[in-house]
Amino acid sequence: MPLHSSSMAIKVSHNLGLGKWNDKHNNFIPNHVGSFFIFLRGNKTHHNAMSRGHIGCCLSSFNQTQSFPVMEDQKKLSFSSPEPVNYSQELDVAVRTVQLACSLCQRVQNSLISKTSDGVQSKDDNSPVTVADWSVQATVSCILSESFGSSNVSIVAEEDIQNLSKAKAGGVLETVVKTVNECLAEAPRYGLKGPKMALGTTEVLEAINRCNSIGGPAGRFWALDPVDGTLGFVRGDQYAIALALIEDGEVVLGVLGCPNYPMRKEWLNYHHRYHRIISKLTPSTSESWDKGCVIYARRGSGEAWMQPLLHVNKNLVWPNSARPVRVSSIDNPSLATFCEPVEKANSSHSFTAGLAHSVGLRKQPLRVYSMVKYAAIARGDAEIFMKFARAGYKEKIWDHAAGVVIIQEAGGVVTDAGGCPLDFSKGIYLEGLDRGVIASAGANLHDKIIRAVDASWDSSAL
């Protein structure tokens, strides 16, 4: 079973799974599971440095500060260490919720966006926001509250109700309420508990507005981007629903729903519009294409999984044909494929192009909207993702949290351009980010990219 609900607890607790003592240096060396067991609530930099030994900027810090005296009786450790948390229930609910949200987005895209512009509004920053954004946020808010209790659920999310509440958005608000209720009515098909009665306008607005957490270093909260890559969504291109759980500043699980990203790599050669044409020519029950997927991972498991989207008129039966995904083994830059954002407004294509050339990347870049880029690396369709924001742009945690933990558990590496882990403990922004974000399929490739950034940065205009 992909979540290993029962076996995971045994795996973590068996002999404590901690690692071994290095008598020569009087240091404790944790294994992969052990680092998760001991340091889940500890300092983020040290945990990532231990479980991802390639992060050089943090290794020296770890070696200087994290040493332990040899214990005569290691049994004492079982009494002083906290019980491990495996987040199986949270991940199960999160995956099912994202599956449900993908279904909602598909319906909105087919029935609203492709036919009329009424379902699209503008935010203050001129980026479009659709019925899907608000509807997904309200739906996820409701489902998580029903599953864990509203008093136990805190959510950091992208959308607010300012534009939706405006008088001129009355028609859109009515559509959002209708869309949310239609979606929640299908919750049982996904193994989820929805509200007993249909929600009214006030209740939908309250559900959206409940997602007002500001994050931070302590406690548990969810990070949600209801439709990441809204421009891609509006244009019928790639987009993602991203949901992550963060506890004490650590991303502990992540789920990415990618409704237009095919399960099989070879289908990437066919544009999703072609898939739509083929779908009209084949029975609605056909599962031969499986054009969309949900990818998920839990911190410390060393595994990432991918499910196809649930098909119409079927119930989600766990694990829904899930299969493991793994990053590519390519570490030669000349053979690697790199991803970069489509939008030029918040990233520098010229710098990444120059950087790609200097490091030896020769393949055409894969430019896709949204966190689909993280999914592409996690499942081995590409090897590198680089994003260097223009001056004044600040990265938000919901744009990265889910993707980061998925790539890491699939065997990849994600850091800032200085080689340090991304810090999700400072609120809604990735504060202290060193220049940009780099994700790679492996440590060797990652180190080459970071060295190339250092060599090229002073001559850039960023």
CATH number for the domain that contains residue 307: 3.30.540.10
- State the Cα–Cα distance between residues 137 and 274, nearest whole angstrom: 29
Query: Could you tell me the CA-to-CA distances from 117 to 161, 299, 396 in Å, in that order?
Result: 19, 40, 27
Percent of the chain with pLDDT over 90: 50
Residues 188 and 93 in one domain: yes
Residues 291 and 374 in one domain: no
Question: Which of 286, 303, 325 finishes a domain?
Answer: 325
Residue 248 falls in the annotated catalytic set: no
Residues 311 and 176 in one domain: yes
Residues 225 and 174 in one domain: yes
pLDDT at position 32 over 80: no
pLDDT tens, position by position, 201-254: 999 999 999 999 999 999 999 999 999 998 889 888 889 999 999 999 999 999
Residues 375 and 265 in one domain: no
The one catalytic residue among 230, 337, 352, 415: 230
HSE-CB of 332 using CA atoms within 13 angstroms: 4
158 marked among binding-site residues: yes
Residue 230 falls in the annotated catalytic set: yes
**Number of domains composing the chain:** 2
Residues 306 and 350 in one domain: no
Cβ contacts of 297 within 8 Å, gap of 6 or more: 253, 254, 303, 304, 305, 378, 405, 406, 408, 409, 410
Domain that holds residue 261: 88-325
Question: Which of 325, 342, 377 finishes a domain?
Answer: 325
Residues 116 and 244 in one domain: yes
Say which amino acid occupies 211: C
Residues 291 and 378 in one domain: no
Question: Which of 325, 346, 378 finishes a domain?
Answer: 325
Residues 106 and 251 in one domain: yes
The pLDDT mean for the chain works out to 78
Q: Is residue 28 part of a domain?
A: no
Residues 302 and 382 in one domain: no
Q: Is residue 415 part of a domain?
A: yes
266 marked among binding-site residues: no
Residues 355 and 218 in one domain: no
Q: Is residue 373 part of a domain?
A: yes
Residues 143 and 123 in one domain: yes
Q: Is residue 20 part of a domain?
A: no
Q: Is residue 280 part of a domain?
A: yes
Helices 44-51 and 56-65, packing angle to 10 deg: 110
Q: Is residue 274 part of a domain?
A: yes
Q: Is residue 35 part of a domain?
A: no
The one catalytic residue among 92, 97, 130, 133: 133
pLDDT tens, position by position, 58-100: 433 333 433 333 333 433 333 444 566 789 999 999 999 999 9
423 marked among binding-site residues: no
160 marked among binding-site residues: no
- State the Cα–Cα distance between residues 228 and 217, nearest whole angstrom: 24
Q: Is residue 192 part of a domain?
A: yes
Which CATH number belongs to the domain containing residue 449 in this structure? 3.40.190.80
What is the pLDDT averaged over residues 398-406? 97
| pTM higher than the cut 0.75 | yes
